């Protein structure tokens, strides 16, 4: 049926309301709050373990007294060592609190190795809600705000030096804790953040408990 | 999104140009996660829009066939720990689901269309769902086409202009599981939908 002029006039309010509805939806979308995370909110604590290992049977550990820096071949080592000792002490305190006995040389059940790496990344966010509030490396946003940030990653490994794999020249890794976060922060905040995150590694690993035998 | 809005506008205008034996509705949607979707997102979504085009199969039968398109954005933010069989992850999480239902529909109308027109029907088709999970500076994204359907019950209340009406309906969207979700398990993305908008109808 052909639309009459009167019919078009009657449906004009509806089209107008529809246009308003679409406009309102767009307004809602574009007003989605920019909830971009702060540097402190970027912290992540990840733990992975071998579920076949009886951690209760582990009695002694050796903690290497250095933090290894993981670098690519072309990188200069500019990772700060300012907090190395604090980090090592904190890890030792957590292991001691779980009943593991620290030894310095000689027989030990596991070796705990701490490593750190720093990566320059691009972080960007837009207000386009399809992708939420953030974008992520390696994609570059079509619009929005972007800035360079530096992430620091601390890796704590608990490996068994008594069971080397001669073929692969490796030791079985029983537990790995990873702390990751944006480094651009005040010094006091950094200390609080890495303290909380390292403690979190142990909080979320209740199976890390020596039976003391 | 631009294409979806363009499609909706084109369909709206096109359906206005053809005949009177149809219902065209544009509505704002509020959605509430249900079933296994609540494991991922529990927050009510206030961001949604939908379009329905319905054509009566004959002048003397109140039965329509049509299409339904929509877009719903869910988001939830929390700090917490996710545990798996061999580890755990703790951090600030942002979880998003974008659902795009694309349905073929059938509805039956009863009651007096000049006072209150009640309709009941179903939609069958697909939900294109994008899930995104952010934790710290990491982000994970999965998108899948989910087979799905919805039962719907609603009313059209005529406005002063009889061809225009207030459109109110409720749906339960069954978006069945389709492959691994962004959290690694298989889950459905069912949700309730409350739709309020305007319809243009004629006979």
A29 confidence band (pLDDT: 50, 70, 90) = very low
Contacts of B46 in chain A (CB under 8 A): 28
Cβ atoms within 10 Å, residue A17: 16
B62 vs B20, residue with greater confidence: B62
What chain A residue is nearest to B1 in terms of C-alpha separation? A130
Residue B171: the pLDDT is 97
User: Which segment of A22-26, B73-77, B159-163 scores lowest on mean pLDDT?
Assistant: A22-26
Higher-confidence position of A58 and A36: A58
Exposure string for A175-202, b = 16+ CB within 10 A, e = fewer: bbbbbbbbbebeeeebeebbeebbebbb
Looking at the complex, report in whole angstroms how far the Cα of residue B149 sits from the nearest Cα belonging to chain A: 23
Say which residue, B46 or B141, is predicted with more confidence. Answer: B46
Q: Say whether pLDDT at B55 is over 60.
A: yes
Please answer yes or no on whether B137 and A182 come within 8 Å at the CB atom.
yes
Please state which of the ranges A37-51, A88-102, B172-186 shows the lowest mean pLDDT: A37-51
Name the one residue in this structure whose structure tokens are 């710290």.
B136
Report the SS3 class of residue B60: coil
What is the mean pLDDT of the segment spanning A102-115? Answer: 92
DSSP characters for chain A? -PPPHHHHHHHHHHHHHHHHHHHHHHHHHHTS---PPPTGGG-EEEEEE-TTS-GGG--EEEEEEEEEEP--TT-------TTHHHHHHHHHHHHHHTT-EE-SSS--SEEEEEEEEEEEEEEEE-S-GGGTT---TT---SSSEEEEEEEEEEEEEEE-TTS-BTTTTB--EEEEEEEEEE--S-HHHHHHHHHHHHHHHHHT-TT------
CA–CA distance, A138 with A122 (Å, rounded to integer): 8
Beta-carbon contacts of A20 under 8 Å, excluding residues fewer than 6 positions away, are: none
Please report the pLDDT score of residue B120 as a whole number. 97
- CA-nearest residue to B164 within chain A is A14
Beta strand ranges found along chain B (DSSP E): 22-33, 47-58, 61-84, 87-112, 116-135, 138-158, 164-175, 191-201
CA atoms lying within 13 Å on the CB side of residue B78 = 15
| B15: helix, strand or coil | helix
On chain A, the residues whose CB falls within 8 A of the CB of B90 are 44-46, 200, 204
User: How long is chain B?
Assistant: 203
The SS3 assignment for B65 reads strand
Q: How far is CA A174 from CA A68, A71, A94, in A?
A: 19, 24, 17
Residue B25: closest C-alpha in chain A: A18
Q: What pLDDT, on a 0 to 100 scale, did the predictor assign at position B6?
A: 56
Res A14 pLDDT > 70: no
Residues of chain B contacting residue A133, judged by C-beta atoms under 8 Å apart: 94, 134
B163 pLDDT exceeds 90? no
- With cut-offs at 50, 70 and 90, classify the pLDDT of residue A17: very low
Minimum-distance CB partner of A44 among B87, B90, B163? B90
Q: What is the pLDDT of residue B89?
A: 86
* Burial class of A36 by CB neighbour count within 10 A (0 to 12, 13 to 18, 19+): middle
Chain segment B3-30, per-residue pLDDT in tens: 544 555 555 555 554 455 889 999 999 9
Residue A10 scores a pLDDT above 50: no
Residue A180 pLDDT > 80: yes
At residue A213 the predicted structure's pLDDT band, cuts being 50, 70 and 90, is low
pLDDT at position A81: 84
Alpha helix positions (H), chain B: 2-17
- Do the Cβ atoms of B77 and B93 come closer than 8 Å? yes
Identify which of B97, B94, B83, B56 has the alpha carbon closest to the alpha carbon of residue B190.
Answer: B97
State ipTM. Answer: 0.71
Distance CA B131, CA B123 (A): 23
Q: What is the pLDDT of residue A107?
A: 92
> A57 pLDDT exceeds 90?
yes
Is the Cβ pair A21, B161 closer than 8 Å? Answer: no
DSSP B148: E
- The per-residue pLDDT for B149 is 97
This prediction's pTM: 0.71
């Amino acid at each position: 049926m052909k639309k009459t002029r009167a019919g078009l006039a009657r449906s004009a309010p509806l089209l107008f309301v529809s246009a308003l509805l679409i406009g309102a939806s767009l307004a809602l979308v574009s007003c989605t709050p920019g909830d971009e995370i702060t540097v402190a909110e970027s912290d992540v604590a990840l733990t992975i373990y071998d579920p076949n290992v009886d951690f209760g049977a582990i009695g002694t550990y050796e903690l290497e007294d250095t933090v290894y820096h993981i670098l690519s071949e072309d990188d200069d080592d500019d990772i700060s060592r300012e907090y190395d000792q604090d980090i090592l002490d904190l890890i030792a305190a957590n292991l001691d609190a779980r009943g593991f006995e620290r030894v310095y040389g000689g027989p030990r059940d596991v070796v705990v190795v701490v490593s750190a790496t720093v990566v320059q990344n691009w972080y960007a966010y837009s207000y386009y809600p399809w992708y939420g509030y953030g974008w992520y490396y390696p994609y570059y946003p079509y619009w929005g705000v972007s800035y360079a940030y530096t992430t620091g990653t601390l890796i704590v490994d608990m490996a068994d030096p008594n069971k080397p794999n001669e073929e692969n020249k490796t030791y079985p890794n029983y537990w790995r804790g990873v702390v990751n976060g944006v480094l651009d922060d005040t010094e006091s905040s950094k200390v609080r953040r890495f303290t909380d995150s390292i403690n979190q590694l142990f909080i979320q690993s209740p199976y890390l408990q020596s039976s003391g035998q | 999104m631009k294409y979806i809005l363009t499609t909706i506008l084109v369909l709206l205008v096109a359906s206005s140009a053809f005949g009177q034996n149809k219902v065209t509705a544009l509505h704002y949607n509020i959605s509430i996660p249900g079933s296994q979707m609540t494991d991922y997102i529990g927050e009510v979504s206030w961001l949604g829009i939908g379009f329905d085009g319905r054509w009566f199969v004959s002048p003397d039968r109140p039965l329509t066939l049509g299409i339904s398109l929509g877009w719903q954005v869910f988001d939830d933010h929390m700090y917490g720990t996710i545990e798996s069989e061999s580890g755990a992850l703790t951090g600030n999480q942002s979880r998003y689901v974008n659902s795009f239902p694309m349905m073929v529909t059938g509805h039956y109308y009863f009651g007096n269309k000049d006072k209150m027109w009640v309709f009941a029907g179903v939609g069958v088709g697909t939900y294109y769902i994008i899930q995104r999970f952010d934790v710290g500076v990491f982000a994970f994204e999965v998108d899948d086409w989910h087979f799905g359907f919805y039962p719907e019950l609603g009313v059209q209340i005529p406005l002063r202009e009889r061809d225009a009406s207030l459109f109110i309906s409720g749906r339960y969207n069954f978006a069945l599981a389709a492959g691994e979700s962004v959290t690694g398990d298989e889950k459905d993305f069912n949700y309730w939908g409350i739709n309020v908008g305007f319809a243009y109808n004629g006979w």
